[in-house]
Amino acid sequence: MAPILSAAIDSSAWVIIMYHAIGIPEGWGYYPYEEFLRDLDQIAAEDFWCANFDNVAQYIQEKNNLSVEKYCYSSKFGNWKYYITFRDNLDSDIYTQPLTIEFIFSPKINFKKFYIDPPIESKTEYDVTENMIRLNIVPDEVRYRINIRN
């Protein structure tokens, strides 16, 4: 599985892995347990998202329907403040998959800190690394207050 996963990641492809009758030699899809564990270790070692079909379908719908509303309400002394809302106009009780959002900043400004409220996964403060920050946000129509500082 390692070469398949590596090639898929290199080409940003989707991989669908299906397991049937694992560990049942008389089953029609016998898969030795040791190989399965080795494959799980390979999956865990790679940098990609693994999900079931339900979550993938939710993710696709949320991504396809995503809209972002933002406006700056202060930009004094290297301290930028925004309100930002991520919307998908889908039922938030059903569509709960986080989307990875990248905030990319101009290297001329050299931001160091990123603050968000309400918190995402119990965290409000992030370091800006290489002029970028990545957050996993559910597009649930919450209005976030963002503060970015030099």
Sequential pLDDT tens for the chain (150 residues): 788 888 888 898 888 777 666 556 676 666 778 888 888 888 888 877 778 888 999 999 999 999 999 998 887 777 889 999 999 999 999 999 999 999 998 888 888 999 999 999 899 999 999 999 999 999 999 999 999 988
Shared domain check, 17 and 76: no
* Residue 87 covered by a domain: yes
Examine the domain organization and report whether 140 and 82 are in the same domain. yes
Q: How far apart are the first and last CA of the chain?
A: 44
Looking at the structure, tell me whether residues 42 and 77 fall in a common domain: no
For the chain, the domain total comes to 2
* 81 and 36 both lie in a single domain: no
Give the domain range for residue 6.
Answer: 2-50
Residues 71 and 136 both lie in one domain: yes
How high is the pLDDT of residue 47?
A: 73
Q: Would you say residue 137 lies in a domain?
A: yes
Q: How many residues does the chain have?
A: 150
Strand partners, 86: 68
Please tell me whether residues 74 and 122 are part of one structural domain: yes
For residues 97 and 144, membership in a common domain is answered with yes
Q: Could you say which DSSP state residue 27 is in? A: S
How far apart are the C-alpha atoms of 93 and 10, rounded to whole Å? 34
Q: Is residue 59 part of a domain?
A: no
* Residues contacting residue 60 through CB under 8 Å, at least 6 positions apart: none
Same domain as 130, residue 98:
yes
Q: Parallel, antiparallel, or unpaired for β 143-149 and 113-120?
A: antiparallel
CATH code, domain carrying 142: 2.60.40
Single-letter code of the amino acid located at 129: T
Q: What pLDDT does 137 receive?
A: 95
